[in-house]
Amino acid sequence: MSLAGRSVVTMDDLSNDEVEAIFSVADEMSDSLHEQSSVCQGKIMASLFFEPSTRTRMSFEAAMLRLGGQVITAVDIGATSLAKGESIADMARVVGSYADIIVIRHPWEGSAKVVADYAGVPVINAGDGGHEHPTQTLLDLYTIKKERKSLRGLKVALWGDLKYGRTVHSLAYALARFGATILFRPAPGLEIPDHVVRKLVTEYGGELRRYGTAERPEAGGLFSLDAIYVTPSTPHQLAMMPDISLQVELEKGVDAIYVTRMQRERRDTAKGEGEIRRDYPVVDKRLLKEKTFKETLVMHPLPRVDELAYELDADPRSMYFKQAARGVPVRMALISLLLGSRKVDTGGDAKGPRIGKSHHVYDRGFGVRCQNRNCVSVNEEKYIKPEFKIVSLKPLTLRCVYCEHETFPKYVASAEWHEGTLKSKRYHSSESHWIKKIRPENLIIFDSESEAQSRGFLPGKHAES
């Protein structure tokens, strides 16, 4: 199928084949960066940045201009339409009538999906809060591919703020999809969140292996933490080291170390910042002397603060400025493909790829809301109907289709009234065995007993878990 007319909100909007197709177009763009000026002539990109980001915005705009297109930019939006009370959906519809493609950065998680739902033109997510930033992941992967020739069977260490680092989560998922082994080296207190690990394991076929203190290898005292082995999810990928030890793995070397700064702006308070900063692991010459890192690509999404020493800038393993530079051809490729100005057929479904497991969707309402207060569905509840994927029944786990945060509602009922009377409207604990008796399409979910009761439901036998 073609990418023309589609939006890219998360990496899951692209199949592995499509990712590879984007990279082959990026190669062409890269080889003749100054000769692409007729590709998107007459097209307009709207660059909507509700959060400032000079680097990302300029990269997108340079990409569009190098393609011969034009750009309308808004970096002042926070102070304007929103102040007047405008919804993201209205903004998307209006700007979608001005421009041929929209690039959006917005602090609310899931906001890019809303823009894509309403704009009527292709939308690229340039970062929606702590959720996704897929073109960053694309350029990260592209850099690895350019240097290592393949995306299959890589060993990549993620380093630093693994809790709030949106680029790190997105990269982890993508690496998993291509069958990589991922090693985690978080700063203290900034460990990779459980839901990310869970998603790596359940959606992308990863296998988690935790190392106890005793068996932790040293490698400069650096990997004293958990490791996740991701085994391939599709047959044509290589199965990866189910049995070998971390020590052996590290001795064979790491393909890339991906460093991130502390995401101060996403932390709720500055509490303990000084402390975190003090213990934050630093990548410098000393570290790179380890045999493990002899041929390791040093990557960073930039901007850096102190976690990546300036002394490495001239080191041939340092990739961070190359990453930034490669953002332009990668974005040129993506923009031209979504606009249909370049064509590539990667087979597959006209509805876009199916990445990860498929799940039942819960959109019945009954007061169930995403518990992430930074989710677009919470902030724009005026017109957004909450919608969740039921990713697990025991424990009952809903994943918001907007921000992908998980919630764990406590009560359930069935839409099939056994007696057809009010009395039969009973709710039960979601932890009781009852939940398995309700057919998914009949499931009604409540966040609280009071919510259930306010809608006329009475406690069932299994209301207490």
Which residues would be at the binding site for its own copies (CB under 8 A)?
34-35, 37, 41-44, 46, 52-55, 57-59, 61-62, 65-66, 70-77, 79-81, 83-86, 90-91, 93-95, 97-99, 261, 264-265, 302-306, 310, 321, 324-325, 328, 382-383
Instruction: Decide whether 1 or 62 has the Cβ nearer to its own copies.
Output: 62
Q: How far is the CB of 451 from its own copies (least distance, A)?
A: 24
Q: How far is the CB of 100 from its own copies (least distance, A)?
A: 8
Instruction: Decide whether 9 or 71 has the Cβ nearer to its own copies.
Output: 71
Instruction: Decide whether 155 or 166 has the Cβ nearer to its own copies.
Output: 166
Query: What string of DSSP letters covers 37-90?
Result: TTTTTT-EEEEEESS--HHHHHHHHHHHHHTT-EEEEES-GGGTTTTTT--HHH
Q: Which structure tokens are listed for 281? A: 């692991």
Report the alpha-carbon angle 458-460-464, nearest 5.
110
Residues forming beta bridges with residue 269, ordered by sequence position: none
Q: How far is the CB of 164 from its own copies (least distance, A)?
A: 13
Pairing of β 206-209 and β 101-106: unpaired
Instruction: Decide whether 105 or 113 has the Cβ nearer to its own copies.
Output: 105
Sheet holding 297-299, edge to edge: 206-209, 227-230, 181-186, 155-160, 256-260, 297-299
Is 104 in a helix, a strand, or coil? strand
Instruction: Decide whether 50 or 258 has the Cβ nearer to its own copies.
Output: 50
- Asked if 257 contacts 159 with a C-beta cutoff of 8 angstroms, the reply is yes
Instruction: Decide whether 378 or 435 has the Cβ nearer to its own copies.
Output: 378
Residues forming beta bridges with residue 228, ordered by sequence position: 182, 208
Give the contacts of 220 (CB within 8 A, at least 6 positions apart): 286, 287, 290, 292
Q: How far is the CB of 87 from its own copies (least distance, A)?
A: 8
Q: Which structure tokens are listed for 309? A: 């020493």
Q: How far is the CB of 46 from its own copies (least distance, A)?
A: 7
Instruction: Decide whether 296 or 323 has the Cβ nearer to its own copies.
Output: 323
What does the alpha-carbon distance between residue 237 and residue 151 come to, in Å, rounded to a whole number?
10
Q: How far is the CB of 372 from its own copies (least distance, A)?
A: 22
Q: How far is the CB of 407 from its own copies (least distance, A)?
A: 25
Angle, in degrees to the nearest 10, between helices 320-338 and 54-66? 50
Q: How far is the CB of 28 from its own copies (least distance, A)?
A: 16
Instruction: Decide whether 228 or 332 has the Cβ nearer to its own copies.
Output: 332
Instruction: Decide whether 140 or 203 has the Cβ nearer to its own copies.
Output: 140
Pairing of β 227-230 and β 206-209: antiparallel
Tabulate helix, strand, coil % of the chain (nearest 5): 35, 20, 45
Q: Which structure tokens are listed for 462? A: 């299994």
Q: Which structure tokens are listed for 121? A: 């033109």
Q: How far is the CB of 239 from its own copies (least distance, A)?
A: 38
